Amino acid sequence: MSEPVPPAHRWGSLQKTANLQLGPNGRLRHFLTLEGLPRTILEQILDTAQSLVGVTDRTVKKLPLLRGKTIVNLFFEPSTRTRTTFELAAKRLSADVLTMNISASATKKGETLLDTLRNLEAMHVDMFVVRHADSGAAHFIARHAAPHISVLNAGDGRHAHPTQAMLDMFTIRHHKGEFHRLRVAIVGDILHSRVARSQIHALNILGTGEVRVIAPKTLLPSCPESLGVQVYHNIDEGLRDVDVVIMLRLQRERMGSALLPSGHEYFQLYGLTEDRLSLAQPDVMVMHPGPINRGVEMDSQVADGPHSVILQQVSFGIAVRMAVMSLAMRSSEAIARDLPA
């Protein structure tokens, strides 16, 4: 059996090729990014989430899967929805949950991220759920946390937001079934979006027929094709015959900056209207991570219309996060058993 954790040498060297996310037997150990994960694990997450959806509807909404476990939500960046769904997911699995909102200013007082981590580890934590404004923060924490601790990425910079993407995959599968038959278009600010990066990986791993991104060049990374997508700058062309449209949220500060002239012009060029939606498949499904900027990303008629699945996404979110938590914890227990006492 392979060494479970690359030793964190004091000079910070690391094993670049080791898949940090997989433990012994190829099981999920950390959940940092979807890149590099096998399809079987993604399907396992979706199947597990499926079996957990019912729990949310029961009167007694608890399962004992993580009883006695301590989960710390480490939020270095403000978030309401992601934080509360992670909290609820942990509580429904009977774990003890502690949420820490650590503002950037607190960490600038001299305590490093690593110091914070070491202090918390001393409290016998089993899992960290991390959100951080810097790309790579979750990888960093996973690399340096004690070997029995699982790290779940709840969003790091522009890099990844894998549970959000899995929730979107769950929603797509729920409504559309098999991925290989689908054309999926992602519209909007791909450059700054960790959600988009994770969605693209997830869609490709699950064998989606065609993944498209639709945006002006200012909202795309350089060489976007290298991510495994077809690139469209014209939304009318990009929406043709698609089965799923994922609208990304446009941050207010992007409008009127050098990235975009105005929300008005953006809506004219990339806003989702009923007319444009008619170019897609008749049973097209429209998703949005919310909250929607009505009249910027899409029309109210589309947001509230029959194709929209925006609200349903929230309730599935808890089930998906429960699935990831229970799978990752099972693997870290396996590691704890294999570690010398």
Partner 1 sequence: MSSQRIHIQGGRVIDPANGIDAEMDIYIAKEKIVAVGSGPEGFQADQTIDASGQIVCPGLVDLGAHLREPGQEHKATIRSETRAAVAGGITTLCLPPDTSPVVETAADVELIRRRADDSDLARVLVIGALTVGLQGKELSEMMQLQRAGCVAMGNAHKPIRSSLVLRKALEYAGTFGITVFLQPEDPDLADEGCAHEGVVAARLGLPAIPEAAETVALARDLELIRQTGARAHLGRLSSARAVEMVAEARAAGLPISADVSAHQLHLTEMDIGDFDAQCHVRPPLRTQRDRDALRAGLANGILDAVCSDHQPHEPDAKMAPFPVTEPGISALETLLPLTLKMADEIGMPLIDALDLVTAAPAKILGIKAGTLSIGAPADICLFDPASWWTVSPETLYSRGLNTPFMGWELRGTVTRTLVGGRSVFVAPSPATEA
Positions touching partner 1 (CB under 8 A) are 10-14, 16-17, 20, 35, 112-114, 132, 134-137, 139-140, 144, 156-160, 194, 197, 221-224, 226-227
User: Which one, 12 or 306, has the nearer CB to partner 1?
Assistant: 12
User: Which one, 159 or 288, has the nearer CB to partner 1?
Assistant: 159
Tell me how far, at minimum, the Cβ of 185 lies from partner 1, in Å. 19
Tell me how far, at minimum, the Cβ of 138 lies from partner 1, in Å. 8
User: Which one, 258 or 341, has the nearer CB to partner 1?
Assistant: 258
User: Which one, 34 or 49, has the nearer CB to partner 1?
Assistant: 34
Sign of the torsion formed by the C-alpha atoms of 229, 234, 235 and 237: negative
End-to-end CA, the chain: 17
Q: How far apart are CA 153 and CA 63, in angstroms?
A: 23
Tell me how far, at minimum, the Cβ of 31 lies from partner 1, in Å. 14
Q: How far apart are CA 20 and CA 4, in angstroms?
A: 9
Q: Are 300 and 308 in contact (CB under 8 A)?
A: no
Tell me how far, at minimum, the Cβ of 104 lies from partner 1, in Å. 10
User: Which one, 90 or 137, has the nearer CB to partner 1?
Assistant: 137
Give the Cα-Cα-Cα angle 293, 244, 200 (nearest 5 degrees).
85
Query: Whose CA is closest to 320, among 164, 201, 195?
Result: 164
Tell me how far, at minimum, the Cβ of 143 lies from partner 1, in Å. 9
Q: Are 295 and 271 in contact (CB under 8 A)?
A: yes
Query: Whose CA is closest to 83, among 132, 144, 148, 45?
Result: 132
Give the Cα-Cα-Cα angle 151, 157, 160 (nearest 5 degrees).
55
Q: Are 301 and 47 in contact (CB under 8 A)?
A: no
Tell me how far, at minimum, the Cβ of 335 lies from partner 1, in Å. 20
Tell me how far, at minimum, the Cβ of 278 lies from partner 1, in Å. 32
Q: Are 319 and 171 in contact (CB under 8 A)?
A: no
Q: How far apart are CA 61 and CA 54, in angstroms?
A: 9
User: Which one, 48 or 135, has the nearer CB to partner 1?
Assistant: 135
User: Which one, 120 or 160, has the nearer CB to partner 1?
Assistant: 160
